Structure 1
Amino acid sequence: MRHLLIDITPLRTSPAFRRFFIGRAVSGLGGQISVVAVMYQVWEATHSPFWSGSVALAQLVPMLTIGLWGGAVADRADRRSILLVTNLTQLVLALLLMAQALWLGTSPSSLGLVLVLVALMAAARSVAAPAGMGVIPRLLATNQVAAGLALNRLSFQGSMLLGPALGGLIIGYAGLEIAYAVDAASFVAGFLGVLGLPALAPATRTSGGGVLEGLRFAATQPVVRGVLLVDLAATVLAMPVSLFPLVNETRFGGDPRTLGLLLTAIAVGGVGASLFSGSFTRRSRPGLITIGAAAVWGASLGAVGLVTSPWLCLALLAVAGAADSVSVVTRGTLIQLAVPDDLRGRTAAIEMIVGAGGPEIGNLRGGAVAQLTSGSFALVSGGITCLLALAAVGATSRPLLSFRTGATDSKIAATR
């Protein structure tokens, strides 16, 4: 039984990883508290769904425009230095959010400043994320990378579950500005976690092709290309979130409590899979696992379109969430191990953009199909096309299926 539980070996064997993990966990929780604060402030200032949606746009545009450049920077400069600068930048921006909340509160005049600060925060994250993704394989031996990614995934899901609730409590009892102050304090923990890292200059001479070289590599390297196609198949074709209000209305009477459970079930399944991630992080064939897990995701969501019992629906969504976590961790493992260090930043940036853009396109696809047909048809057809696309990826990506993790990578281990 013990070997099925999440593998905490990286926390025991690498003090640098342990500090980095704790710092990211704390700053991630603070970030989710800030997300709630921004949503609350914008809504109270405008009472407009349009302006509430503009927050997502303010975050998405910097990521799409700056993300690839951030990846190129991560491949040319010391990643520790990048993370220190971006953590300090986000700390300052969180303090500015706190200051404007004290100054303007929820008045309509706060809207423009909030959106600018949110966009700048997203820009800083877009530079930090590729550098952060390239840290783990520099701190851990190859046979511990998957476990390290699983720990990061659990931390992310924990912040997604706890952060919004904590944010609501803090805003309700202490005020909007205190929520932003907590976020600022969390970046201090993130900064200290990065401060304990060794120098992380590129391990090899950076190729000279810049962003285009990264795009060319992702398009031609069969393992990386296969991983990105699996991600797109799962998200663009089967993403269900935009359909939840319709499913809840047509099948379960429109009860808001049921809608909340639908939204939570996927996250609960993901946390469960992360807690038992030892069952897959210790396996040597991540390519097979990632396609299989994505297939379970697609099949489960397709089945949601056929069931009428709310409890069976929730169970299927939890299975889908668990499968998603398995696929995310194994895809990350493949990206980290199949990519040379001098291309990790750019490849991580491409993965970040695909991971953020795919679900948005998938939600748009699901809503459009449901508008023309029905929610059930959108879910079932999405699940079926997801499975067909995954079968095509598997048939044309033999290196992805045959990829094996080694016992130890001496070059990576030597840089710990």
Structure 2
Amino acid sequence: MSLIDVVRRHAIDVRPLRHAAYRRLFVGNVFSFLGYQLTAVAVPVEMYLITKSSLWVGLLGFAGLFPLIGFSLWGGAMADAMDRRRVLMASSSVAWASTAALCAQALLGVGSRWLLLVIVAVQSGAFAVSSATRSAVVSRLVPEEEIASASTLNYTASTLGAILGPLAAGVVLAGGDERGIALAYGLDAAMFTVAMWAVFRLPEMRPLVEVGTSRWRDLVDGLAYLRTTPIVLLTFVIDIAAMVLALPRALFPEVAEERFGGQAAVGWLFSAIAIGSLVAGVASGWVGRVRRQGIAIVVAVAIWGLSVAAAGLAPWLWLAVLLLAVGGAADMISAVYRQTVLLTYAPDEMRGRLQGAFIAVVAGGPRLGDLRVGATAVVTGATVSWVGGGIAAALVAVLLGVAYPALLRYTPTKSAG
């Protein structure tokens, strides 16, 4: 086999980029993810500078949790009942306004922990609706056989932003003052305009089948459908365990300051997981050829937990970054298979609602994780909170696989839609 054949077999599949609408959305996503990560680092750093408490940093996740869950489920129902382009435009506009509010309060030097919590809650609600809709849009822009590849491209784009964004934030925030924090928010707002342009250029995406007029009834139907698909439900459960137990990001500002010499290191800690995800995404040509996707999910989550636990014991920044990157690679593989299971199994008229549930899990789990790790650190210290959570996540993944062998036996089936 020639080198070219090896590259084609294992490199990331870029076929979905042949479709103009998806290509524009992909470019917009790259800018959006990059800008969002600047804010994702700046907010906890600002909170830590105001309060000097990892518990308050963890409360940022809690503040965003309920809007995230409620609006992701409601937004998914809206995406099934309305033109998905219009839903995406409206929610993206609210997200942009909340970022502008963060920038304004930093420029004015308000320094209010409560105002930060409120703005984060609004931003989380807008993020929930736009994310659920953005994911549901993919299945209308590319053919079904390219959905796994499109999902991988999306995750790779998000991880690229999650690498460059925190690293840029580390530079912008190195001074530890409001001007750097305001600049991070301002850059996010500027880059998000590219994503808004991409959404504006999308075609209309009205429902393929007629739905009812009650979004509450739609939501109930979506959750009822989820109960009939135990494999999908199990992928949600295993991801919640992975994020709630093992994600240590609420500790990054504290650990950067106390173990690694200051907030300049925080960018590396926030970007480390994404570095591993990006490497895994670039070398993901094999992903579509794996049939035992249930086993792949369990193994990937176990590797994620153990890698995170080892990173919590690392005495050097480079080693912590390396181990978190290994965990990030495993998490990316798990995420791609979980998303692929959902997009290929569910019919189109259910994809918005199920994507809403997916976003509630994927984005809600980390916010619960922020609260868990921050609160535990108050009692046990940062190291025990970090390491213990990683070990627990790995154990839960293995136990779920043992308790529900149907998950281990799962292989892809033809979409119901």
Distance 1:255 1:319 in 2: 20
- Aligned-residue offset at 1:243: 8.5
- Aligned-residue offset at 1:141: 1.0
- Aligned-residue offset at 1:199: 1.0
Structure 1 47/283 Cα, relative in aligned 2: closer, same or farther at 3 Å? closer
Matched, 1:323 2:326: no
Matched, 1:390 2:392: no
Distance 1:314 1:33 in 2: 18
Structure 1 401/278 Cα, relative in aligned 2: closer, same or farther at 3 Å? same
Structure 1 match to 2:184:
179
- Aligned-residue offset at 1:364: 6.5
Contact 1:237 1:383 in 2 (8 A): no
- Aligned-residue offset at 1:118: 2.8
- Aligned-residue offset at 1:212: 1.5
Gaps of 5+ in 1: none
Structure 2 match to 1:217:
225
Structure 1 243/135 Cα, relative in aligned 2: closer, same or farther at 3 Å? same
Structure 2 match to 1:161:
163
Structure 1-normalised TM-score?
0.80
Bigger CA drift: 158-167 or 121-130?
158-167
Q: Map of 1:5-404 to 2, 5 A cutoff?
A: 5-11=11-17, 13-45=18-50, 49=54, 51-102=56-107, 105-108=108-111, 111-170=113-172, 175-206=180-211, 209-236=217-244, 238-239=246-247, 254-256=259-261, 265-298=272-305, 300=307, 317-361=324-368, 371=380, 379-380=390-391, 382-393=393-404, 395-397=405-407, 401-404=410-413
SS of structure 1 residue aligned to 2:365? helix
Identity among equivalent positions (%) equals 34
Structure 1 282/203 Cα, relative in aligned 2: closer, same or farther at 3 Å? farther
- Aligned-residue offset at 1:290: 2.6
Amino acid at match of 1:95: A
Distance 1:363 1:385 in 2: 19
- Aligned-residue offset at 1:274: 0.9
Distance 1:51 1:139 in 2: 41
Structure 2-normalised TM-score?
0.80
Amino acid at match of 1:166: A
Distance 1:306 1:100 in 2: 37
Structure 1 234/30 Cα, relative in aligned 2: closer, same or farther at 3 Å? closer
Bigger CA drift: 341-350 or 217-226?
217-226
- Aligned-residue offset at 1:182: 2.1
Amino acid at match of 2:240: L
Structure 1 66/334 Cα, relative in aligned 2: closer, same or farther at 3 Å? same
Structure 1 246/401 Cα, relative in aligned 2: closer, same or farther at 3 Å? farther
Contact 1:235 1:358 in 2 (8 A): yes
Distance 2:300 2:44 in 1: 33
Gaps of 5+ in 2: 1-5
Q: How many positions carry a matched residue from both structures?
A: 399
Bigger CA drift: 50-59 or 302-311?
302-311
- Aligned-residue offset at 1:218: 1.3
- Aligned-residue offset at 1:151: 1.2
SS of structure 2 residue aligned to 1:402? coil
Distance 1:48 1:378 in 2: 19
Amino acid at match of 1:160: A
Distance 2:76 2:313 in 1: 42
Contact 1:238 1:386 in 2 (8 A): no
Structure 1 303/161 Cα, relative in aligned 2: closer, same or farther at 3 Å? closer
Contact 1:302 1:384 in 2 (8 A): no
Distance 2:312 2:38 in 1: 33
